[in-house]
Amino acid sequence: MGFLTEHYRWLLAFHVISVIAWMAGMLYLPRLFVYHVDAPKGSQQSETFKIMEKKLLRLIINPAMIAAFLFGILMLIANPALLQEPWMHMKLASVILLSGLHGFFAKTVKIFARDENTRPAKFYRIINEVPAVLMAIIVIMVIVRPF
């Protein structure tokens, strides 16, 4: 644990970098869904969106989420007192919701890959706002620590 405590700032830096990459993908992927809805099934445009969605999920979003969790857990191991803070409970609840949304997005990538999407673009425009709201809650909890 001494090693983690001594390198806490490095853990924090890599955690923040990972979260930024995760959020970039989580904000962009549903926007791709919005455009993909309007692409005719089987068209070159639709096939391009499938590739973009799959690569964004597998090469950026998934690894970034794993890294964010890894560095976050290591930070909690280094400073377990954080788990006693009410703001941390709210942050972790928001992270769990964000992770569930991540799972929904991963499932949606598969649905689009099979040309089985039934949701309209408006649904994806609305769901596109959810990661931003959760991100705002998380940032406020960590920076402001309102309770």
What pLDDT score was predicted for residue 127? 97
What pLDDT score was predicted for residue 11? 97
What pLDDT score was predicted for residue 99? 98
What do you get for the CA distance between the two ends of the chain, in Å?
28
- Of 81, 58, 77, the C-alpha closest to 69 is 77
What does the pLDDT profile of the chain (147 residues) look like in tens digits?
Answer: 799 999 999 999 999 999 999 999 999 999 999 999 999 999 999 999 999 999 999 999 999 999 999 999 999 999 999 999 999 999 999 999 999 999 999 999 999 999 999 999 999 999 999 999 999 999 999 999 999
